[in-house]
Amino acid sequence: MKPSQALAIVRQVATIEEPWIWLICGVGVAFLAGRWTRNHHDVDFMTFAEHRAVAMESFERLGLIFESDHGWVTHWQSDGNLVELVFVERTGPNSGDVVACADGSFGGTIAKDGDCRRGR
């Protein structure tokens, strides 16, 4: 994905006023670094799990095309580019956690209370 394509997606999602949606992962790090640090195959966003329905409706209203749902992460397309929306459990007013167990994120299990043994 070209930097201009990622920026267009970020600008598009930034128009969502509610719920709060954060830019995370690789493209988020590139924004913090102030430069494109590597090639990216997707743009990742996060919101609290309690806002799942509203966030998904907001993505649909923006014209993002729903692709798949893996429980804690949904995949979308924007002009042929992959967009991920991750849902985390709230652990504080503006923070949350998600722990993907060693068997992988796609189709893998999500830890309950940060413990992969109990998350299965």
Per the domain annotation, does 15 fall within a domain? yes
The total number of structural domains in the chain stands at 1
CATH number of the domain to which 48 belongs: 3.30.460.40
**Predicted TM-score (pTM) of this structure:** 0.81
Q: What is the pLDDT of residues 58-97, one digit of tens each?
A: 999 999 999 998 888 899 999 999 999 998 888 888 777 7
85 C-beta neighbours (distance < 10 Å), count: 24
pLDDT of residue 72: 80
55 pLDDT more than 90:
yes
Residue 106: inside a domain: no
Q: What is the pLDDT of residues 45-54, one digit of tens each?
A: 999 999 999 9
Give the confidence band of 104 by pLDDT, cuts at 50, 70, 90.
Answer: low
In order, the DSSP letters of the chain are: --HHHHHHHHHHHTT--SS--EEEHHHHHHHHHTS--S--SEEEEEEEGGGHHHHHHHHHHTTPEEEEE-SSEEEEEETTEEEEEEEEEEEETTEEE--B-TT-SSS--B-BTTBTTT--
